[in-house]
Chain A
């Protein structure tokens, strides 16, 4: 009873808000009011009911493409996670490396993805390569920077206390610094997984034969607005599910918080 009440308290407010927004949209688009005011044809301004209908009709097509995009997101995110944690650890251990490479790490984030993505396609072709590169590039930064901040946030007295208790450098890292940095790393990973979805769509727009981004591009060109919206809804769902999964892992691992 109590657990059910707790769950309801968490899920009810956003659910109600989403339903209200969908209802308003249905009202505005379903009656043709919105299209009228915008001076557009009705099919360009689909109602939620129409989007749902297309989502059901073309569920096979959308699911196939969503699977492709999901694999890209997971692989790109995994690469970024490994690289981000490794680079943060490296920068933490070496003052020289940190001073030398921090500007480069920041610069990696100033690269306009839209500019570099076509070059990546030229280099790596139409396969999964360029998508991985784009996703990893934008996911890397929040993971690396947050983890590094976490490693540097450690209470210096705890480190010194460990030194008086025979701890080696690697023991201090394992027992003090890494656990202290874990919550920061999770924050970084949550930001990263949200932007990973955008990265995947970007990567597919520049050059691909499959995936939700590819489908959206086609639907856009053919004015299949309802299916375009359906793809957006599925993409959002993917982002929300992945974000929640990371939250679950976080709660399981950080039980002391």
Chain B
């Protein structure tokens, strides 16, 4: 079962500093919403609000129609910006964390998480410790850990930001079919406009802090698995420049502006 996700008038502040303001969004079941914006615009905070780790100061967020933090937390899995792999567990045990927390036996949890290792290009590394894995592999294990939770909503915070350009492009290419096969409702936060357009169905651009909606853009339909064909397409380039232009123009927060 895949669920929908929506926000109405969402705003949040840390003390006197407003980080998000007046956000409306709607993600249909199985769709991917990309969120781009300049750093510090509250993108990461938005994910924490959606998955119920924080309560928004203003507005409501609904996951499958449920608006309390506890119910959102029960339905959404979060992949934080740093991979947060636990160094005392193997790759397999890290991936199986959600199942262990649900009370599955170690054998059961390992068997179930282990089935995905091959598909994720991780076979042979089940018993490696996180510090023995490359950056790209660590991100894949972290994503696998999120996926294994079987939650309907996945919240991905800059999943590839820490990787070099080549690995990042490879993982983007790898993630696209995985996301469409999994059919989960996804919010993907990134500062990389191209990544957002490539991986998402819709892209929400935010202004500089406090993050307000600057534009909502439909991504061009994926043109097959080859990334280079997609990102060099005319429609893709036009939208990329449009988004970059919006982010460049996004006003610096000044006192008294736009109340």
Is B239 on the interface with A (CB-CB < 8 A)? no
User: Within 8 Å of chain A (Cβ to Cβ): is B98?
Assistant: yes
Q: Is B101 part of the contact surface with A, judged by Cβ < 8 Å? A: yes
Q: B180 an interface residue at 8 Å Cβ cutoff?
A: no
On chain B, the number of residues with a Cβ less than 8 Å from chain A's Cβ atoms is 26
B84 engages A157 (CB within 8 Å): yes
Kindly report which residue of chain B lies nearest to residue A161, judged by CB atoms.
B84
**A164–B76 contact, CB under 8 A?**
yes
Given A176-B86, A256-B87, A256-B129, is A164 in contact with B78 using a C-beta cutoff of 8 Å? yes
A160 and B78 in contact (CB under 8 A), knowing A165-B149, A171-B101?
yes
B73 lies within 8 A of A175 (CB)? no
**Given A157-B82, A175-B97, A175-B100, are A164 and B88 also a contact pair (CB < 8 Å)?**
no
- A164 with B149: CB separation less than 8 A: yes
Give CA–CA (A168, B88) in the complex, Å: 19
A28 to B78, CA, bound (A): 70
Residues of A within 8 A of B53 (CB): 160, 163-164
* A157 vs B157: C-alpha distance when bound (angstroms): 12
A151-180 contact mask (Cβ, 8 Å, vs B): 1 or 0: 000010110111111111001000110010
- Residues of B within 8 Å of A162, CB to CB, are 97, 101
Most chain B CB atoms below 10 A, which of A166, A175, A256: A166
Contact of B102 among A155, A164, A166, A257 (CB under 8 A): A166
Q: Measured between alpha carbons, how far is A165 from B113 in the docked complex, in Å? A: 14
Interface residues of B (CB under 8 A from A): 48, 51, 53, 73, 76-82, 84, 86-89, 97-98, 100-102, 129, 131, 145, 149, 151
User: 20 other contacts beyond A165-B98, A166-B102, with CB at 8 A cut-off?
Assistant: A155-B84, A157-B80, A157-B81, A157-B82, A157-B84, A160-B48, A160-B80, A161-B79, A161-B80, A162-B101, A163-B73, A164-B76, A164-B77, A164-B149, A165-B101, A165-B145, A175-B89, A175-B100, A176-B86, A256-B129
List 25 A-B residue pairs with CB atoms under 8 Å apart, sorted by A's residue number.
A157-B84, A158-B84, A158-B86, A160-B53, A160-B80, A161-B80, A164-B51, A164-B53, A164-B76, A164-B78, A164-B149, A165-B97, A165-B145, A166-B98, A166-B101, A171-B100, A171-B101, A175-B97, A175-B100, A175-B101, A179-B88, A256-B87, A256-B88, A256-B129, A256-B131
Closest 10 CB pairs of A and B: A165-B98, A164-B78, A166-B101, A179-B88, A167-B101, A157-B80, A256-B87, A158-B84, A161-B84, A256-B88
